[in-house]
Structure 1
Amino acid sequence: MGKLKTFYIELENSKGVFLAGQTINGKLVIELNAEMKMREIRCTFKGLAYVHWSESETTGTGSNRRTETIDYTASENYFNQTVPVFGRGMGMGDKNCLPPGQHVYPFSFQLPPNLPSSFEGGIGYVRYTIKGTIDKPWKFDHTTKRPFTVIASLDLNSQPTAARSEQNQNSKYLCCLCCKSGPITGMLKLDRLGYVPGEAIAFNAEVQNMTNRVCGIHAKLYMTTLFRTLKKSKTTTSEVAKVVYQDVQPGETEIWSGGRLVIPPLPPSFLEGCRIIDLNYYFELIVDPSGPAIDLHVPLLVIIGTIPLQTVVQQYQTQYGVPATEQPTLPPSDTATSDPPMVGAAPMSLPPPTYSECVFGKTNIREEGDSEYTRGEMNFAPAYVYYHDLSKQPQFN
């Protein structure tokens, strides 16, 4: 058995969700089976955005033709600060020793303002971590890691298009050998474009099928992510959720009235504060003809925020008889049982949101500098706001 029994980071806010500018309070906990010599114990607070992907490119001609791998990389550093809690950094010199038993070292760190929201996107991320290090002379260091979530507030009431109704229509013809069928036409209508996780996107759609094929119908919410480097950009698409409707038969028209799709926990649109990653969301009607054919797509750009529209809150109050009061004062964010308050919210009498793991699930956050011996959370998913009560909102008008 080694000398180090346990080594972990514990946050006073057990949910590990913070707003930019808030203070992170916690402690580094070490338990030793035997005495251990060390230079110091420290915490490193790190926030950065990083993008990286590789592509194979062929250059030259003939015998000079060759294929090489090109790496595209970009990064932004938001903070990288080390806070000593024991030993050299506390003025105790390089030769320090801890006896067996448990040792607890409190720490505190104030986040800078205007940070972008946490995001994990495969070839790019915005990531915030705390790393604990036991710096040992002439031996490998012991390290432990604790990721946490930062949420940037996006108030839908500040977005000019969020409360606006919108519709889109598209059509296409199917070709089979020398014959061209009648068109497929799809129409999608939303009574607004701004939503928060937990709300349902209420929509109406209509599909006219003038072909001789059966057509499937569904609607989906998807996220597009633009990753930027100095030399090149790359866009990826991820499906968030979808709902399926009945088929439309040849020569018929289907009216999809009162459709609903509940929005799961997601990062807010735009990823404001980050210059190398951009997020957008689209809600789309899709018509899928049977047989070989390209689907018909009817998209609308929507905004996913963290603070709901005041008109939506008022609808909720009216429907459920909730009195219109000022938003209650929430307990401090550094208590273990509380969620961080959503600053900048308009007055509303909704219960505060919960904070739920991102719908895309966990990802491995092992980075350069993390060894196989690094302890802590190496699989992590950011947690985002989720308004359970708003899923009861009224149907499409």
Structure 2
Amino acid sequence: MTIIKNFRIILTKSQAVFFPEQCVEGIVQFNIAEKFETTGIFLELTGLSYVIVEEKHSKSKKGVVSQHTSLERYCHIRIDLATKGGTAFPLTTGTYQFPFSTQLPDELPTSFEADNGCTRYYLRAYILRESQSQLECLLPFTVNTVFNLNESPYAMRSDEAEDVQMVGCCTSGSVKARLKLSKIGYVPGEIIQLDGECVNQSKKSLKNTFLEIIMNVTLKATDKEHSLQRSMKTWHLQEIQGNTTLSLDNIRLVVPPLPPSGSRFCNNIDVHYCLQLTAEVTSGVRCKVSVGLIIGNVPLELGNSQFTEQEGTDNIGSIETQLPENLRTLIRKNLCVPVFRTSSIFSVTLDHHFPLSDENVNNHQLPDKLQCPGIQWHPSYLYFVEKNKK
């Protein structure tokens, strides 16, 4: 028989998205179906980044793999919801609710998920039982660190690149790609203003041409780093016939929900972006150009920015009231309003946690498996939509 049912953490906020220094409030709730003894009911708030980099030793016949890890903690708060100084006490059948409130520190990195690395925040409620496994539930939440593009000396800069690839044999000629941005600083929901073209000076049709936002990630474990690339959004372009040019001036690219560039307050993970134009010339030969992007979450005040429409966006007013006052002040002058948008790109199954109650915890510690079932989760990021013109 299940002795506990509906064990959950319920937040006061309508969405589990927070900024540094904000209060996290809610209740821990559960139903007891069968009486048992406990030595305490607790809630932990944990924020950390964890990186694991594997190194294969090619000279080893057994294919030995070394693991390099790094664990960085940002906050660990424990709240005693119900205790009697370590003495056991009974929980009888019925419904229990325990309110809680705690404040986040003022310097926290943004939530992030990648293969072999993450910056993660979660609440874990647990009930201790003598000589038995503890009962627990987990609630992950997102932290968005403010990155004001107006404070970046590079966000208003332009960037340009071009590439030429020759096409041989009977389809001889060349393919030239050019890409230019008048500025490189953008926020999620903003429309990228393109200037560029793909010139096909061969007889061969280019059937696979596309634009994509690429995330470049550096995972920094102890004594070992690992770099990876991940496509965040792809826009497939029309076929380019031989001896024709495709202009990119009228193509509409909307920046998807993404964590900001850089690695503010995090030493384990570094994130950068670029916009890349690729034309597949022949099998294995590609004409490729890329320009840098800086992704923030406070838009530039100058630069003639455009944003996606409000269509399909709910509760804009209520979400704006949940933002810290300093952030509301920053965005009040802009022609856009913020919402929270989940990112399916970063979907992950949480099936472990890091027990950080010991201040002397080993920084190479591996995560513990959860007693509760794995949780499907994805972080949410600030996303800007066009302000209502009424």
Band of TM-score, shorter chain: 0.7 to 0.9
Distance 2:346 2:111 in 1: 13
SS in 2 for 1:59: coil
Measure how far apart 1:212 and its partner are: 3.6
Could you tell me which of 126, 131, 135 is aligned with 1:142? 135
Q: Could you tell me which residue of structure 1 aligns to residue 44 of structure 2?
A: 44
TM-score, normalization by structure 1: 0.84
Q: Could you tell me which residue of structure 2 aligns to residue 8 of structure 1?
A: 8
- For residues 315 and 255 of structure 1, do their structure 2 counterparts lie closer, same or farther at Cα, with a shift above 3 Å needed? closer
RMSD: 2.6
Q: Could you tell me which residue of structure 1 aligns to residue 174 of structure 2?
A: 183
Contact 1:227 1:277 in 2 (8 A): yes
Q: Could you tell me which residue of structure 1 aligns to residue 258 of structure 2?
A: 266
Equivalent residue letter for 1:283? L
Distance 2:222 2:166 in 1: 40
Contact 1:118 1:150 in 2 (8 A): yes
Measure how far apart 1:338 and its partner are: 5.0
Measure how far apart 1:276 and its partner are: 1.0
Matched, 1:374 2:357: no
* Ranges in structure 2 where 5+ consecutive residues have no aligned partner: 310-316, 353-366
Distance 1:151 1:249 in 2: 45
Measure how far apart 1:307 and its partner are: 0.6
Q: Could you tell me which residue of structure 2 aligns to residue 281 of structure 1?
A: 273
Contact 2:44 2:76 in 1 (8 A): yes
Q: How does 1:51-200 map to 2 (within 5 A)?
A: 51-59=51-59, 65-88=61-84, 91=85, 93-175=86-168, 181-200=172-191
Contact 2:137 2:372 in 1 (8 A): yes
Distance 1:235 1:180 in 2: 37
Equivalent residue letter for 1:76? E
Contact 1:355 1:386 in 2 (8 A): yes
Contact 2:337 2:386 in 1 (8 A): no
Distance 1:340 1:286 in 2: 39
Equivalent residue letter for 1:309? L
Matched, 1:230 2:225: no
Could you tell me which of 299, 304, 312 is aligned with 2:295? 304
Q: Deviations over 1:275-315 (max 9, x none)?
A: 110111111111111x4232111100101111111125x76
Equivalent residue letter for 1:133? Y
Q: Deviations over 1:80-134 (max 9, x none)?
A: 222111014xx4x412112211111111121111100000112100000111110
Q: Deviations over 1:138-160 (max 9, x none)?
A: 11110110111100001111111
Of stretches 36-45 and 262-271 in structure 1, the one that deviates more from structure 2 is 262-271
Q: Deviations over 1:31-75 (max 9, x none)?
A: 112322100000111111001132432226xxxx55311112112
- For residues 69 and 17 of structure 1, do their structure 2 counterparts lie closer, same or farther at Cα, with a shift above 3 Å needed? same
Q: Deviations over 1:328-348 (max 9, x none)?
A: xx87x9xxx953337342541
Distance 2:333 2:321 in 1: 19
Of stretches 143-152 and 161-170 in structure 1, the one that deviates more from structure 2 is 161-170
Measure how far apart 1:20 and its partner are: 0.9
Q: Could you tell me which residue of structure 2 aligns to residue 19 of structure 1?
A: 19
- For residues 349 and 203 of structure 1, do their structure 2 counterparts lie closer, same or farther at Cα, with a shift above 3 Å needed? closer
- For residues 294 and 159 of structure 1, do their structure 2 counterparts lie closer, same or farther at Cα, with a shift above 3 Å needed? same
Q: Structure 1 vs Structure 2: percent identity of aligned residues?
A: 26
Measure how far apart 1:350 and its partner are: 4.4
Measure how far apart 1:316 and its partner are: 6.3
Q: Could you tell me which residue of structure 2 aligns to residue 209 of structure 1?
A: 200
TM-score, normalization by structure 2: 0.86
Distance 2:388 2:243 in 1: 36
Distance 2:341 2:286 in 1: 34
Distance 2:291 2:305 in 1: 24
Measure how far apart 1:349 and its partner are: 5.0
Report the number of matched residues: 364
- For residues 207 and 3 of structure 1, do their structure 2 counterparts lie closer, same or farther at Cα, with a shift above 3 Å needed? closer
Q: Could you tell me which residue of structure 1 aligns to residue 349 of structure 2?
A: 364
Contact 1:242 1:261 in 2 (8 A): no
Distance 1:254 1:101 in 2: 68
- For residues 175 and 389 of structure 1, do their structure 2 counterparts lie closer, same or farther at Cα, with a shift above 3 Å needed? same
Q: Could you tell me which residue of structure 2 aligns to residue 386 of structure 1?
A: 383
- For residues 157 and 380 of structure 1, do their structure 2 counterparts lie closer, same or farther at Cα, with a shift above 3 Å needed? same
SS in 2 for 1:157: helix
* Ranges in structure 1 where 5+ consecutive residues have no aligned partner: 321-329, 393-397
Distance 1:72 1:19 in 2: 31
